[in-house]
Structure 1
């Protein structure tokens, strides 16, 4: 393929994928290898305004510095602005528990995002070609993947574009040869202890020799999978709109009945919640879990109710118990402790958010606020016997998330108050009494 034919082929692909407009500035990831050099030369042939970005990860000793010197000379010759950054991959990898490959990728794209802003570029162009995409397909399949992995790399994904995805490795090398353009070679590409290198150097050449059109057929397959994935995402988005219920800020609620309309409801839930850190096994288990069950990700809590599931931030109030000293006051803004001097009148309390306790409660050895536990019982004021706190929740129609947020006041093993719901008859205050304690629960301060 002649250089002009290569440029026409790639230009048509760029136009078809609407990667960028003629007036855009394009950030070019430039390693100095054949692929990235071919990408830069192609973009310049189309009169695209380019800014080159080179990462020096210092993982290959002098070879890393050689690459930096090469791209410096190349950009000077071509009149292209060059940005260079040096990275401490070892420290970043250790701090974030990543492999070298993943650490380099994270550092690279984080820096690219900065450069897009500072250099006023619309997109970053990376030099993956068709053969890279086939390698990625096999890597993902061998490691285990879903539709996204089998669809291969996207030509356009957010602000990342891949103009050479329509070209083969052979076409890229031929293009550089036609131009008489030099490039550098990464010596680690020949080391077959890396899985990708074994695929590239050992497995795929055999596949291509036995099935000469294998790469072309695999590319067609990835295109069809990508189409299926797009349809799948449309369905997921539609079901998300159908199942989601309006709630208060910070809480996400989905109707279990709507989710269960789908045969693969666990998979649907996983697609809805994967961004919050929930895994597939958790999402499958939700539909067999009992009411009140809780599933946790690194940042979110999922509560299973009778009709809904709710997702919210993990409770920032980490204490399971808070000790109460009535004489010292209470160290939380959402519970006020008062010691009125006026004789008690029932009009001072409502039995739900405001209660009164007789002076005798101060003699209790252990008074705590704690979270509700299954089996907790309350002896409600004005009633004989006791009642399960969970029955109070049912009466109040609390969601699973609301139940987990409820505090109980306990004194020497007796539940005196379910905050915001009901007070017990223990330590009740007679009209006209003095020395009592008045407690106010301020929901708005929670």
Structure 2
């Protein structure tokens, strides 16, 4: 009776069931799902619900699996409940998809539950996961490397799926089955240590309980509750930041304002980046720690242009004060531009949200060219002829790089410098007439280098965004 009261309190705590619900109970024939069905059957009057039973034969174990199905059918019949038993060739499905046996079985099983629930009008699907499953899942996620989202483990409620036994130990479930003389069957594959989850359940957890904490499972269940509640709160805050930072949304492209992201807590920014990737891909999967770190590096790189490749065909790039994530052909194309270079002064380039600052300084004031960053250049002003401008690259451009004996095609130079194709249109080219004197962010040209004979230097610098004093082009 104590177990029934505990389960009822757990159901009420998470509002798993409402009066009038039709609940489809997934029953494998093992102790956990059999006990769940029996408990809900005993409570159905006070909960004001109706029940139905679903069982899927995965066709992994031949006659043994068919015996499981017969047990479930007889159990449901004995309780006076409708039962839906089907079989699906999961081994063949696994061969077609390349999935592991467990992943393939899980996908097919949940698809089966969805189809049966839709067919009979069930508003809830009850599953028999228990506290030992929760501990196993949390350890499994920890070993793979996870944050709070993984440490929260299995959710008590997810959509229509409910897990009323999630805080109940397996030993309590088995005791309940014995007390009520419930027929159960054990899946022999649960004893095979070829699966990581089985090794955790059969080897790791018992050893940790014996040598470190006899109440390990309870501790992990409590950890799951804490992480779930804190993760839910952080997700709510991340959703608010997502709305504030989102500048533009298209079907396959998202633009976020960099200042809003950089001024926010890092814990929320990580979640916004993951949320953006999930939005574009339509998947419930997640990015790895290193993949998120690569996006954070983009946010903190004012140079922009660099493209990060993410799973499922998503790419990301920072352009000025905007972080863009996109898929397919919705990439951040840069239209052709060409603006007169203000000397001295600041020229704003809206197409890449950057500015070029130009100053004339005497050779005595000039810094050592070797100490300049790639976003700076020092050129011999008197060696420059032709009107100065800044533009995007064009097909057929040629460039004579500093330190090289002759000119070459700009495309070849950028390939040799390992500049990704997606980044090349974001490089501002400072030109004098038809000559490229500086590939902004990469290298100045050899014919305009500073020499001992230089008297006046042209100092150029790429600045982020529209800088005060810039000529608005």
What TM-score, normalized by structure 2, do the two folds share? Answer: 0.65
Post-superposition offset of 1:412: 12
Aligned match of 2:215: 213
Aligned match for 1:42, one of 19, 35, 39: 39
- Conserved 8 A contact 2:23-2:126: yes
The residue aligned with 1:308 is 322
Cα deviations across residues 255-314 of structure 1 (Å, max 9, x unaligned)?
101111135376244333341356424423322554233334424443421011223331
Within the candidate set 288, 297, 305, 1:285 is matched to 297
The aligned residue for residue 273 of structure 1 is 276
8 Å Cα contact 2:298/2:317 also seen in 1: no
What corresponds to 2:178 in structure 1?
177
Q: Does the Cα contact within 8 Å between 2:56 and 2:112 map onto a contact in 1?
A: no
Using the alignment, how far apart are the partners of 2:191 and 2:250 within structure 1?
56
**Distance in 1 (alpha carbons) for counterparts of 2:292 and 2:330:** 26
User: What is the CA RMSD across the aligned residues, in angstroms?
Assistant: 3.5
Distance 1:315 1:215, change over 3 A: same
| Contact 1:37–1:183, Cα closer than 8 Å, also in 2 | yes
Query: 1:294 is matched with which residue?
Result: 307
SS of 1:253 mapped into structure 2: strand
227, 230, 235: which one pairs with 1:228?
230
What is the alpha-carbon distance in structure 1 between the residues aligned to residue 179 and residue 243 of structure 2?
Answer: 53
Which aligned segments of 4 or more residues in structure 1 are displaced greater than 6 angstroms?
407-413
Q: 1:166 aligns to what SS in structure 2?
A: coil
User: Which whole-Å CA distance do the structure 1 matches of 2:107 and 2:125 have between them?
Assistant: 15
Q: Contact 2:23 / 2:123 at 8 angstroms: preserved in 1?
A: yes
**Contact 1:269–1:283, Cα closer than 8 Å, also in 2:** no
**Alpha carbons of structure 1 residues 263 and 9: separation in structure 2 relative to 1, 3 Å:** closer
Distance 2:242 2:112 in 1: 34
Does the 8 A contact of 2:27 with 2:72 survive in 1? yes
Instruction: Give the corresponding residue for 2:405.
Output: none
- Structure 2 contact 252–330 (Cα < 8 Å) conserved: no
Q: Tell me the residue number matched to 1:99.
A: 100
Distance verdict in 2 for CA 1:224–1:372, change over 3 Å:
closer
Structure 1 residue 372: Cα displacement: 6.9
C-alpha separation in 2, matches of 1:19 and 1:219: 18
CA contact (8 A) 2:56 2:88 kept: yes
Q: Distance in 1 between matches of 2:249 and 2:188?
A: 56
Structure 1 contact 270–280 (Cα < 8 Å) conserved = yes
Q: How far 1:9 sits from its partner (Å)?
A: 1.3
Distance 1:178 1:12 in 2: 21
Report deviation, 1:29: 0.9
1-side partners of 2:298 and 2:326: how far apart? 15
CA contact (8 A) 2:23 2:52 kept: yes
Equivalent-residue separation in structure 1 for 2:349 and 2:218 (angstroms): 64
Q: Using the alignment, how far apart are the partners of 1:138 and 1:109 within structure 2?
A: 23
Show the counterpart of 1:256. Answer: 258
Question: How big is the shift at 1:31?
Answer: 0.5
Structure 1 unaligned blocks of 5 or more: 318-370, 387-391, 401-406, 419-446
Structure-1 separation of matches of 2:293 and 2:160: 32
What is the alpha-carbon distance in structure 2 between the residues aligned to residue 173 and residue 134 of structure 1? Answer: 17
CA distance in 1, matches of 2:27, 2:142: 28
Tell me if 1:153 matches 2:154: yes
Residues 55 and 85, structure 2, Cα contact 8 Å, conserved in 1: yes
User: Where in structure 2 are the equivalents of 1:68-147 lying within 5 Å?
Assistant: 68-147=69-148
- My pick for the range that moved more, 142-151 or 219-228, is 219-228
Work out the CA distance in 1 between the residues paired with 2:230 and 2:249. 32
Q: What are the Cα deviations for residues 122-160 of structure 1, in whole angstroms up to 9, with x where unaligned?
A: 111110111111111111111211112111211111111
1:259–1:268 CA contact under 8 A, matched in 2: no
How far has the Cα of 1:197 moved from its partner? 2.0
- 1:398, distance to aligned residue in structure 2 (A): 6.2
Cα deviation, 1:28-67, whole Å, max 9, x if unaligned, reads: 1110111000011011101231121111111122211111
Give the alignment's TM-score, normalised by structure 1. Answer: 0.68
Alignment of 1:375-394 (within 5 A): none
Unmatched runs of 5 consecutive residues or more in structure 2: 282-286, 342-346, 355-391, 399-424, 426-473
Change (3 A) 1:285 1:181: same
How many residue pairs are counted as aligned between the two chains?
Answer: 344
